[in-house]
A and B are shown apart, each in its own frame.
Chain A
Amino acid sequence: MHPSLETSVDTNSSKRRRGAKAGAGGGINTLLIGIALLYLSMLLFVPLVAIFVKAFEKGFGVYWAAITESDALSAVRLTLFVTAIVVPLNTLFGIAAAWAVTKFHFRGKQVLVSLVELPFSVSPVIAGLIFVLLFSPGGVLGPWFVEHGLNIIFSVPGIIIATIFVTLPFVARELIPVLEARGGSEEEAAVSLGANGWQMFWRVTLPNMKWGLLYGIILCSARSIGEFGAVSVVSGRIRGLTNTMPLHVEILYNEYQFSAAFAVASLMSILAVITLIMKSFMEWKTEQRANREVH
């Protein structure tokens, strides 16, 4: 589903050849560069800069007050708490799914791969809705939970489960191409030399997939910190209790506290920028490796 999440491998030699030719492009290419720059500045560059400018518009004092105010702090705490539960679970799932799909052959494998990506094509609002249908007092499982004094909807467990749904594909999606490219021969060698399953995993599989795994975890974290639609459905938006960072931004914005809204938004944007840097770094690594294999 998300094409950008795969790092593109290209041999450098062919790239260089093209780079040399591009100079001959002349007028049309200059025009196209102009159009592309204008398009990307209006949609990406200016908005990214604007977040930080708007956040500091009323001075550092207002910024600091906005992010250290108690409702903001509890929103940060809840968001981090949710992420700390969601990311390890989805990482475990991602490793298991990628291992099963890439190292073994079985019927229905393609179906499993498609199912892993299913949450990407479901609207976040619908992702929230399905858990309301399941767990609300009038829902299918709701009465049972209410009887046992457990609130899922409009409380923290609902936020967690909706976030798990939305971020489920990220780690698996990153690992499947990495493990597929490696094949199984290194693991087979380890096992035939007498390693047990854990030794094989820790010493062979994990080192081989560490960058893909790390990037998958970062994407999963970024999305679970920033998830808005699904969380907005299942959270009761109770300040200090079930308010995550994106919901807090929404509340501040709707109360016309624009500087405060952008201050909290800027915190999340820093994470987005780190994600982008990480991705560029990974691509650079892959390019280097491809380079080494060519020479």
Chain B
Amino acid sequence: MKKNRSHVLPGFGLSLGFAIFYLSLIVLIPLSMVFIETAQLGWDEWFRIVTSERVIHSYKISFGTSLAAAGINAVFGLIVAWVLVRCTFPGKRLLDALIDLPFALPTAVAGITLTTLYSENGWIGQFFAPLNIKIAFTPLGITVALIFIGLPFVVRMVQPVLQNLDKEVEEAAESLGASRFQTFRKVIFPELLPALLSGFSLAFARGLGEYGSVVFIAGNMPMKTEIAPLLIMTKLEQFDYAGATAIASVMLVISFVCLILINLFQIWCRKDRLAKG
């Protein structure tokens, strides 16, 4: 029946042809440049650049802060999703709409706002200053910016799963004598885990590449608060294209591996679910 359909409806050649042409021109050919340039660089030179101290530090900072931010978002994202699905309180709709703000707000705007709020005399930073916690211009500040950027991922992955969860299973668990905590840990949590992990990895992957919201709050001190995308930017401004490309090639490979892992994981979860019936 589906074979038939392609004979009836018009525009297959035109739409597919245009889509592939456009994708090649805008995405595939330009992206391949990174690997062509890296290949021209030679293995030794590439290795020297990506293992230099400043670059290694920037990778460590990018990884550490993205991991921390994604972890915090996993915990609080789960709580937020729970509250939005299972609780009723005034202003819930508004809150639900607000979750997507990090997707809609320009990253530079987020960057200057968070810096202003979380600096020592800012609205929020002033509460942390007496505790001797500096947020802006430290790795903590980078983490705050990445928490902001990654916030919607976990919430939006977990929310629909929680919504479609079969309430009867929970009720059965409770009527069989399980406590609320046991019901959550043994019945609800395993169902949410795949969505939670997907949200976590998406937030992590997004955090690795984030630039706009981080540059303002980071302070950008080499070896301390310099993230990998910023180092690419610095190299570009010095017209060190080879250096920038080498750093970018590592970042690209890492994000592709993340993307493939997320996809495989989601396919695996779907199959697992089908197998269970």
Contacts and interface: CB of A to CB of B under 8 A. Distances in A.
Contacts of B100: 4, 275-276, 279
Interface stretch (B47-55, B146-154, B269-277): B146-154
A113 to B, nearest CB: 10
B147 A184 contact: no
The size class of the interface chain B forms with chain A is 35 or more
Interface stretch (A13-21, A64-72, A206-214): A13-21
B76 interface: yes
B252 A29 contact: no
B263 A114 contact: yes
A10 interface: yes
B88 A50 contact: no
B108, B148, B232, B256 pick with most chain A CB within 10 angstroms: B108
Contact of B252 (A126, A226, A246): A126
A138 B241 contact: yes
A48 interface: yes
B87 A32 contact: yes
The dominant DSSP class at the A interface is helix
Given A112-B20, A130-B31, A99 B109 contact: no
B87 A33 contact: yes
A32 B97 CA distance: 19
Interface string A84-123: 0000000011011101100111100000101110110111
A8 B205 contact: no
A232 B236 CA distance: 11
A189 to B, nearest CB: 10
B33 A246 contact: no
Interface string A256-295: 0010011001001101110111011000000000000000
A124 B255 CA distance: 12
B26 A164 contact: yes
A100 B16 contact: yes
Contacts of B198: 3
A144 B268 CA distance: 48
Contact of A253 (B18, B36, B216): B216
The size class of the interface chain A forms with chain B is 35 or more
B108 A40 contact: no
Contacts of B12: 100, 103-104
Contacts of A32: 79, 82-83, 87
A233 interface: yes
B101, B152, B241 pick with most chain A CB within 10 angstroms: B101
Given A44-B151, A46-B124, A246 B212 contact: yes
A125 interface: yes
Nearest to B181: A28
A143 to B, nearest CB: 15
A36 B241 contact: no
Given A96-B14, A253-B112, A10 B163 contact: yes
B104 A130 contact: no
Contacts of A99: 11, 15
B112 A249 contact: yes
A130 B33 contact: yes
Contacts of B84: 36
Contacts of B189: none
B16 A106 contact: yes
Nearest to A23: B88
Contact of B10 (A197, A262, A277): A197
A43 B209 contact: no
A129 B159 contact: no
Contacts of A228: 106-108, 211-212
B104 A275 contact: yes
B199 to A, nearest CB: 7
Given A35-B76, A104-B5, A93 B107 contact: no
B211 A4 contact: no
Interface in B78-120: 79-80, 82-89, 93, 95-110, 112-114, 116-117
Contacts of B108: 226, 228, 246-247, 249-250, 265
B19 to A, nearest CB: 4
B151 A43 contact: yes
A246 B272 CA distance: 45
A47 B11 contact: no
Contacts of B209: 121-126
26 contacts: A3-B152, A3-B156, A4-B103, A10-B164, A18-B85, A29-B86, A44-B98, A93-B19, A99-B11, A123-B211, A123-B251, A130-B33, A132-B236, A133-B37, A133-B241, A134-B33, A165-B26, A226-B105, A228-B108, A229-B107, A229-B211, A232-B233, A272-B105, A275-B100, A279-B97, A279-B100
Given A44-B148, A51-B109, A228-B212, 5 more contacts: A36-B95, A51-B113, A125-B232, A125-B233, A276-B101
Lowest 5 A-B CB distances belong to which pairs? A226-B106, A123-B209, A228-B212, A229-B211, A272-B104
Interface of B: 2-3, 5-6, 8-12, 14-16, 18-20, 22-23, 26-31, 33-34, 36-37, 76, 79-80, 82-89, 93, 95-110, 112-114, 116-117, 123-124, 144, 147-148, 151-153, 155-157, 159-160, 163-164, 167, 180, 198-199, 202, 205, 208-212, 216, 229-230, 232-233, 236, 241, 244-245, 248, 251-252, 255-256, 258-259, 263
